[in-house]
Structures are given as C-alpha cells and as structure tokens.
Structure 1
Amino acid sequence: MKVLVFGQTGQLATELAQFDGVTCLGRRDADLTNPRACEAVIAQADMDVVINAAAYTAVDRSEEDRDTAMIVNAMAPTAMAAAAATRGIPLVHISTDYVFDGSGTTPWKPDDATGPLGVYGSSKLGGEKGITATGGTHAILRTAWVFSAHGTNFVKTMLRLGAERDALNIVADQIGGPTPARDIAAACMRIARALTEDPTKSGTYHFSGAPDVSWANFAREIFAQSGLSVDVTDIPTTAYSTSAKRPANSRLDCRMTTATFGIARPDWRRGLAQVVADLNT
C-alpha cells in the first residue's frame, strides 16, 4: 500500500514515516496555506491512500491568526478530500476533541453535537464538514492529548520543567485520554488499509489513550516514570490563563473505532514508558 502523508516534521508524521510505503510531504512539497497546491499533489502522485497528518495546531495563536488557521485546517483538507474523491482514493484525516465544547463528564461520541470554544476547534470542524461534503471515501479520526519523543508536547515540557524545578502547579479539572503518536500512526495505517478494501467504513471515529486522566495526574505519572521528584499541586483552569479556552471534558468514546476496525484504546502509560526510554537513549 502506497501512502501519501501531508506532514513531515510533526509528531504523527514522524511516526508514520517509519512504515513501509509511506511518503511524507513537507511544506516545500505541499504548502497547506495553498489548498490548490495540495490538490495538485494528489492529482499527480502515485499512491493508494492519503493521510493528512498536518495542521495549524497553535491553539492560542489561532485566536489572532484566524485566516491562516481556517485555510490550513479547513480549506486545505477539503481540497485534499475533493482531489482524493476524484481519483477514488481514501483519505484519513486527523481531527481533535476541540470540535466539542468540553461540557459534562460523559465521553464524546462521534455523532454528538459539536460546539467548538475557539478558532482552532472551529477551523478543525470546518475541515471535517468539508471532507464529508465531498462524498469521497474517508475516515475522520479525532484524537486528543498527543505525545511522543518528537516535537513539542506535554510530556517533553514536563520533563524539561521537572528537571529544573521541584514543584509545579498543573491544571486538574481538564480530563482526557493522552494518546501516543506511535499508536495513532498504527491506527491510521490500519484504517487506511480497511478503507481501500471497504469504502462503506467511511465516517468519523474517535481514538485516544486510556485511562482518562487529568493533566495533573498525567504529569505525576510522567515524573514517576522518569524518576524525577516533583511536587505537583492541582489547580483549576481559571488559575492558568490562556488566549483560547480549553475543553474541560476531552474524554472520547472510542467504541465505534474498536467495533469497525478492531483497534482498541492504547494504554498511554505503556506508550509513555517507551517515550521516556526513547528520550533517554
């Protein structure tokens, strides 16, 4: 299976690059601020499936840079989907829990009503709607709290701060499932193959790590596994000011993904152990 991946240096793209048959495109190959260029790449490339692992993920900066966020997260994926549909090629697209308003405590199902709190979530939802509207074979895979040994993420930030300080205040009223990028990559490849064999599996799915946890307790596990002695104090979201609102409830109901593709939620603690080991080698 030949896989064309939009994204090259991000956490997910880096993990996808480890699979056979994968070609990852950087900004020089396909600039997501130019949706027509993305469309042209798909029209010409030799591949069996497209995975869009690229996005404008600067949640706070997107509040001031709405136009770019909308182009990259909504218009470009829509153009990709249209080009893939024209060629009859499946598209796997990564989305986010930020399309929901974060209310309640019940895990979000794929068909629950959306209600993004900010520009980032709105732009990602725009991409979802655009992809669906093209009518092509696709899987929209919403995930949350992605981490890996690559790029910038919560795990690496905690390891850096934990090496510098003996006490940290961490938000404890936001709950979600940390998700290893390596497991997302494996899920994408499995879903991509399934779509090539059975296009009727098109739809929107959820995939996040288990068990659900707060940022504060996630940090405690990071410090425990890395051998750092850091006193973590729980604080509310209101004590940590950001430009964009964060969803309090990022729990995702992943049962449809398991039922359709046989992909279970990964234990993020095992994924964390691998990331810590990778960073120590």
Structure 2
Amino acid sequence: MKPDLTELDAFAAVARHGSFRKAADERGVSASALSHAMRTLEQRLGVRLLNRTTRSVTATEAGQQLLSTLQPALAAVASALQALQCQQQVPTGTLRLNVSRPAARLVVGPMLGPFMAAYPRIKVELLTDDGLTDIVAKGFDAGVRFGESLASDMIALPIGAPQAFVCVAAPGYLRARGTPQAPRELLEHACIGRRFPSGKLYSWEFLLNGQPLRLAVPAALVLEDDGLMLQAALDGAGIAYVYEAMAKPYLADGRLQELLQDCKAAASRFFIYYPSRRHTPPALQALIDFSRARG
C-alpha cells in the first residue's frame, strides 16, 4: 500500500522538529501514535527514514533525500489550500444568472453596479429569459423568477421588494371609452394582453371583496414585453396590466391613470433559486448576502 499525504506530512514534521513530541503537539496527536505511524511508513517504503535515540530524532540519508523532495511539494499543497481559503473569504469567479426580463429590470439590474463594486473579482453573466429554463442543464448558477414558477427541488430565497401589478390607461382612452369601476367591466374594453413564452395568455389578477379573482380579459393587442405594453397604453391602444414600479413615472406625470385601485391584488415576490447542493459557490453566496443586506 502506498503512503498517503498525511503520513508524508507527518514525517516531514518529525524531521523538521527533530522530535516526536513537538511534531505530535503540532498535529494534535500523541507522540506514541506518531512514532507508530512512522514505523508503519518505513515498513511500507522498505527503508529507514529516521534515526531514533533517547535524546533526538534525525533523518537518515534516505530520509533527507525524501525530505528534500517532499518539502517543496508540501509547500505547494499548503499554498494551494491557502489560496482556496482566500477565495472563500474574497469571492471570485464567474456567476451565471438566468433572469426574467421584469426581474432583471426591477430587481437584479439596479443592484449589479453596487454588487460589482463590492466584489470586483466576480464576473457576472446575466441572460434575460422569460421562459422556464432548466438552469442546471444550461449551466447557470441561479435563476430569478416569481415564486409560483419554481420547481420544487430548488432552493428559493426572496430577492428585492414585493412587486404589485396595476391596471393603467391613457387619459385620452378613458375619455373615449369610459373608466371601468369593477374588474368585470374590463370585458367591455380594449385590453392589452400578456402572452407567456409557453403560449399561455395571462389572466389578470384582482382582489374582490377579499377574494382573489382571475379574469381572462379580451385582448385587442397581445404582447410579451412590459415596455411595449406601457408604450401601447401611452398611445391609447387600451388598458394595460403591468408592474406598478414600471408604470410609476407615467402615473406621476399624468400620462397614465391607475384603474381599479381598490381591487389591486397583493404584491408578489421574485425569488433567486438554485439547485440544492452542499456548498453554494462563493460568488452566488455573495450575491445572496448582498441582496439580503439591501432588503
């Protein structure tokens, strides 16, 4: 049986200290156990490595030859382990993220600049994708989606502030078509529908008399991008159902008006999710910790 690295490192320690007791104290074992281990090592190699007297321990000529080869090798191993520990303390490497476009715009995008300033040794690759991509198969470290979109075998943690949806329309549209006072009145209006990459049309969500209501609105125009939905609403094409945070600038300057405020559904959270694994990559853990610190 070949000697292992632990035995060779123990031999180097004994030769360096010239003492079983000192080497044993350094390694947290008994001197007798270390002496026995050295005898076993010599038997395996078929050569005496140490000269033992009642007062000292010195390397034999064969032991000196082995030690001269071992010391640089052991130093290289120690240096590699130290570098690995430093990497854990100062995260480095590439972090690959698969993020829905709204999540990228509302949550992840605003934190990228501060995050990369805080962790200059991390490289971030972010792909925006509204589909339900298999992040493991595609080689991503993590994804960001709404909670209801996540597979059950993923670790998922909330990221960013809760996001609410609002119904909005241009004042000109409302003057021409009237202002709906209840969700079901939307069925009489031109609505701007949202289609997912799966092909499914999104049903608008409301809270009516304390109960959730999902409404399949008539879509005069169907889009899959929030920016286009907002532009269509600004142009008077109909009523849009969009992220409140994206509509805020237009609501503030009066170019859009919010509808059905009393029926607004509860805000939802985006989640950063990743496969269950024993050791989370340092770059990913850094992003998780950074997002938590931002609240």
The verdict on a shared fold, with TM-score over 0.5 as the criterion, is no
TM-score by length of 1: 0.27
TM-score by length of 2: 0.26
Counting strand residues as a fraction of each chain, which structure ranks higher? 2
Larger Rg: 2
